[in-house]
Amino acid sequence: MSAAGSQGPFATFCGAWGPAVEAALRDLLPPVTAAPARLHEAMHYALFPGGKRLRPMLVLLGCRAAGGDPGAALRAAAAVECLHTYSLVHDDLPCMDDDDLRRGRPTCHKVYGDALALLAGDALLTLAFEGVASAGVDAVAELARAAGSLGMVGGQVEDLAVEGDARLHSLERVQWIHDRKTGALITASLVVGARAAGGSPPAGLLELLRAYGERLGRAFQIADDCLDLTGTAVELGKNPLADVALGKLTWPAMVGLERSLGTARALADEAVALAAPITASTLAWRGEPGPALDATRRLLQDAARYAVERRR
């Protein structure tokens, strides 16, 4: 499973729920035989085999934190992964980052051509909203805001705008971009999961998940930029040093590798501390037994450490 390398409870959780997430993805997607077959092939190609499946696992964790059974959030989890995958397919297009390697294979447009890759991305984004409807209208709106012009797409635009122009680089700006390009969807994953549990989330939970998700997203993206400098193509499944080649604004480009990793670890520590109140005694939970909440808290805390310590 994706979280291999770490032996903590989050890796165990990912291993346990991984097959169900894959099944939910296959259930949400039309089969490759449905017309137009070539479009559905391209969508399947982009999604399988997957990467870390981090975001769907965060959906399941968010559901659990709200006292729900993760199984109730599987369709929403698959939806969020479709949305993440659309963003990768479009980012890789020639008019964007023009990448030719992703998840260890040629990118979608290298195999299916630019037009079909564009449309496969459009279809995956659309399918994400069909899937997240299962978690209710609040989840739909949450995901749309996180993924839209004030969120992920906005971050992507700014990321392209500052590319190669060092005069525009500052730590404030890199954080602004990361919060939208990466953090918004990570936070939305947790909140969508909490919504999928049904009913009203426990008091204070959404605020807690948002604060936790913000730190997790920042730590994750800084670690990602560091991996771009230190990882191999085999480890990463994509070309290393791609950010450098494009003149991307990254944390290590601004302050160096060591200080970046220190910042990522400090952010993970903040996320760990933010997850601490998730116990039966400190938040008014919906009859969730104490031991289950303690396990959920440990999972969130371990996920934060995983975001920084992973090798890919």
Shortest Å, Cβ 98 to its own copies: 10
Binder of its own copies out of 4, 16, 141, 171 (CB under 8 A): 141
For the chain, how big is the Rg over CA atoms in Å? 19
Concatenate the DSSP letters of all residues of 99-139 into one string: --EETTEE-HHHHH-HHHHHHHHHHHHHHHHHHHGGG-HHH
Q: Burial code of 10-45, b = ≥16 C-beta within 10 A, e = fewer? A: bbebbeebbebbbebbeebbeeeeeeeeebbbbbbb
* Site membership for its own copies, residue 95 (CB under 8 A): yes
Shortest Å, Cβ 41 to its own copies: 11
* Residue 211, C-beta contacts closer than 8 angstroms, at least 6 positions apart: 274
State whether residue 279 is helix, strand or coil.
Answer: coil
Give 58 or 185: the residue with its C-beta nearer to its own copies.
185
* Site membership for its own copies, residue 114 (CB under 8 A): yes
Please, what is the angle between helix 114-132 and helix 137-147, to 10°? Answer: 150
Binder of its own copies out of 40, 238, 305, 310 (CB under 8 A): 40
Binder of its own copies out of 1, 153, 229, 257 (CB under 8 A): 153
Binder of its own copies out of 106, 136, 231, 247 (CB under 8 A): 136
* Site membership for its own copies, residue 140 (CB under 8 A): yes
Q: Of 18, 14, 297, 67, which Cα lies nearest the Cα of 194?
A: 67
* Site membership for its own copies, residue 125 (CB under 8 A): yes
Which residues make up the interface to its own copies (CB under 8 A)? 30, 34-36, 38-40, 43, 86, 90, 93, 95-96, 113-116, 118-119, 121-123, 125-127, 129-130, 133-134, 136-137, 140-141, 143-145, 147-150, 153-154, 156-158, 160-161
